[in-house]
Structure 1
Amino acid sequence: MDTSDTPRQEVPASTLPQIQVTVRGITNQYGAECLGQQMFHILREVGEYIDISALDGVTVAVDYDEALRDLDRGVEGLAPLSRTNDEDLAGVGKSIVVMRGDAVKTHIVLSAGPVCPIVLEEADRDEEDFRTAIAIIAHECAHVEENAFREDQFPGIHFRPPTGYFICDHEQHFAEACWGEYAVCRLSAGFAVNEEARFRDNLAVRLKDCRSRARDAIRSYRLHGNVVRVFEEVGIVILEPLRIASYLFGHLDGMNEYDTLCEVAPELPTEDQAFVRAIGRLVEQLRGLWDTRWGWPSYDALIDVGAVGFQLFEEFGVHCQPQPDGQAYINVPFTADTMPAGSAQADLLRILMGGYRG
């Protein structure tokens, strides 16, 4: 009989639905079963704090890229799935929206290596690796909640075809990417207490040499003349830091939920004022969306975030104007620092601008 005077705390019920956890590529049957069982245990606990009732299932795979390609998404004609994978950053988890009957759900695919520490006994595991594994799983679970939130508010939004308007479609893609990571990192911050340093490091990596790399892309454009290509190449350089900043500030805001939220500029590892201004505007809008997330008047409230990205394009010398047919007029004005080195045009431009040195 319990005679303690300490009041019992109610344990919230888990939102974990009946799902299947599939482990691919681990030939040791016992090891695969242990990994699957432990994954269920963690999902059940995470589901007490994050709503994963729309979870379709979880795939843990040694060959992560193959698992992404093989996933049945329930809709024909979708573009193949891929992940971030370059010399600086590599994705290890992805939450994919799928259609199951009439229901929109989210399927989580995880790379086996980073989450394997969950099967080790406490005495045998590296605590930092274990915490990272938990953070990865919780982050993807938060995507389940965020995807369901937008689908509930705006039914059909995940499988809505592009509008065909170049600027609007790119604004929506950018806005959804930034909002999704901000909201998810804010939701899962309590499971990622040691992840702040990684978010900061990732942002510093993406901000490094951004201006020079954008100029290099424009210099190449002077030779190849393809405006869509220069738009994409400059976009990859200048928009990725904003997306990564969404992770960091979502996490920081989640960790300081009941305190004064941090100022943006002092947290940024760059002196480039174009990025300081853009990330400041972005975070302000994301915080506003979070505070009003159950009362967005329309999906345009989210898409408006995308304008931040197009303002940054202009600051880096790529100007986009919408056209009546939905396409965009892309103009890249000539400047001395974006002309190919050694070209006659560069020398002429420097003379005209008073910057030529013989």
Structure 2
Amino acid sequence: MDATVEEEQAPERPSTRPQNVPMCFRGFEQEAAEAHASTLGWLLHEIGKIIDISTLDGMTIAFDYDDALANLDRGYETIRTLAKTTEFGTGVAMTPAVLRDGILKSHIVISAGIALMLKDEDHQNVKLAIHTVAHECAHAKITAAYDKSFPGETLRKFHDTVMESWRWDVIKACWDEYAACRIASDFGHDPLPGYEETFVLAHSQTDEKVMQLIRDFNGGGADPLVGPVFGAYGTMMKFACYMMGSMAAAGKTLVDCESAQNALNGHWFAPYFDRLKNACEDLYENFGNWPDKSGFEAIGDIVEDIVTDRIMKLWHHPDGTYTIYIYPHVLLRAKA
């Protein structure tokens, strides 16, 4: 007798999306807000099956994205105002850390255009929107992992020196984007071509940007020069990390990224690129199980080495202050 055997279906993977995630729609009509809330709620539920978003505080979707960022309640007092990226592209989403009753969480803020794209007839736009939301969810996971390894620090402990603050601005930007690109790689469209293009653009303009900072420096306190120089090189490193994370997720190397490979070939940044790649890979291999911060500090060492190798000598003093000496050849180049 023939027998029919029903395949046993695997149980559905549970979602890590918190119950009743608050969603704030700024500039939407009520009916449109409800429709988009349903779509985004479903998307977060599905993403939450793959990415741990259990520490998600909520989501703000705004037509005035700038105002939404600037006025986000982060649960603590800060002089820093959140603002979108405008250099080498315009930011449309961000996931800042927030404090709620002393608990560290993450809040996604996205431009209304991303929500509208989820209902677009163009399939590529839908895939881009899905990937954008997944990328932001990845940031929630990254923030939670760091907080688990180093509790009580994020938003609750301030850096002892301004130099340490500059280093950690670069460290966090590079690591967070590298990891987010790897974590969100399976959602929506392939971001690697766009990230490669942006890195090549940033790479081509950074040297001149630093020279302009030197030209504009008129002495006095060194902070107005040193901080922006760290920031300029850090921005290039950050965009390198977007590309690196996407490359690693796709199992690709620089050989597969011809424009980036050509830009780095024989360029002074090439060895630093390799160091940055290795540092991020090591951190990712031990994701969430970091015994100390040495892996993160390795990224800070890279940006500081770039500054000291190429622009100026830095002397760190026991009281947290520092002294600089700009190399004569740098001053000559800036004046040329």
The alignment's TM-score, normalised by the length of structure 2, stands at 0.90
Contact residue 115 and residue 133 of structure 1 kept, 8 A: yes
* Residue 252 (structure 1) aligned with residue 243 (structure 2): no
| Equivalent of residue 228 in structure 1, options 193, 200, 223 | 223
For 2:235 and 2:5, the matched residues in 1 are separated by 54
Residue equivalent to 2:57: 56
For 1:73 and 1:168, the matched residues in 2 are separated by 23
* Residue 301 (structure 1) aligned with residue 295 (structure 2): yes
For 2:5 and 2:176, the matched residues in 1 are separated by 44
Report the alpha carbon displacement of residue 327 of structure 1 after superposing the two structures with TM: 1.3
Residue equivalent to 1:262: 253
Q: Secondary structure at the match of 2:129?
A: helix
Residue equivalent to 1:312: 306
For 1:136 and 1:115, the matched residues in 2 are separated by 10
Residue equivalent to 2:177: 181
Partner amino acid for 1:284? N
Residue equivalent to 1:205: 201
Partner amino acid for 1:97? A
Q: Secondary structure at the match of 2:110?
A: strand
Q: Secondary structure at the match of 2:85?
A: coil
Contact residue 95 and residue 108 of structure 2 kept, 8 A: yes
Q: Secondary structure at the match of 2:186?
A: helix
Contact residue 181 and residue 250 of structure 1 kept, 8 A: yes
5+ residue gaps in structure 2?
none
Partner amino acid for 2:171? A
171 and 77 in structure 1: CA distance in 2 versus 1, 3 angstrom threshold:
closer
Report the alpha carbon displacement of residue 70 of structure 1 after superposing the two structures with TM: 1.9
For 1:129 and 1:333, the matched residues in 2 are separated by 48
Report the alpha carbon displacement of residue 340 of structure 1 after superposing the two structures with TM: 2.5
Contact residue 170 and residue 231 of structure 2 kept, 8 A: no
Any idea what the Cα deviations from partners look like across 1:283-334, whole Å, max 9, x if unmatched? 1011011112343221233223200001111232122221111012122121
77 and 41 in structure 1: CA distance in 2 versus 1, 3 angstrom threshold:
same
For 1:148 and 1:294, the matched residues in 2 are separated by 9
Q: Secondary structure at the match of 2:171?
A: helix
Residue equivalent to 2:16: 15
Partner amino acid for 1:270? A
* Residue 35 (structure 1) aligned with residue 36 (structure 2): yes
Report the alpha carbon displacement of residue 43 of structure 1 after superposing the two structures with TM: 0.5
Contact residue 60 and residue 112 of structure 1 kept, 8 A: yes
Q: Summarize the alignment of residues 150-165 of structure 1 with structure 2, pairs less than 5 Å apart.
A: 150-165=146-161
5+ residue gaps in structure 1?
342-358
Residue equivalent to 2:133: 137
For 1:179 and 1:236, the matched residues in 2 are separated by 15
Contact residue 216 and residue 338 of structure 1 kept, 8 A: no
For 1:268 and 1:65, the matched residues in 2 are separated by 35
* Residue 243 (structure 1) aligned with residue 238 (structure 2): yes
Q: Secondary structure at the match of 1:81?
A: coil
Contact residue 24 and residue 61 of structure 2 kept, 8 A: yes
Matched positions, count: 328
Any idea what the Cα deviations from partners look like across 1:210-255, whole Å, max 9, x if unmatched? 223322322332x455532222333333221110111111112122
Contact residue 16 and residue 52 of structure 2 kept, 8 A: yes
339 and 202 in structure 1: CA distance in 2 versus 1, 3 angstrom threshold:
closer
For 1:61 and 1:4, the matched residues in 2 are separated by 51
Partner amino acid for 2:282? G
Contact residue 166 and residue 322 of structure 1 kept, 8 A: no
Partner amino acid for 2:199? L
Q: Secondary structure at the match of 2:24?
A: strand
Report the alpha carbon displacement of residue 269 of structure 1 after superposing the two structures with TM: 4.9
Q: Secondary structure at the match of 1:208?
A: helix
Any idea what the Cα deviations from partners look like across 1:63-113, whole Å, max 9, x if unmatched? 011111221111134522122124x31111111111111321111110011
Aligned-pair identity in percent equals 27
184 and 48 in structure 1: CA distance in 2 versus 1, 3 angstrom threshold:
same
For 1:55 and 1:159, the matched residues in 2 are separated by 16
153 and 105 in structure 1: CA distance in 2 versus 1, 3 angstrom threshold:
same
Contact residue 124 and residue 189 of structure 2 kept, 8 A: no
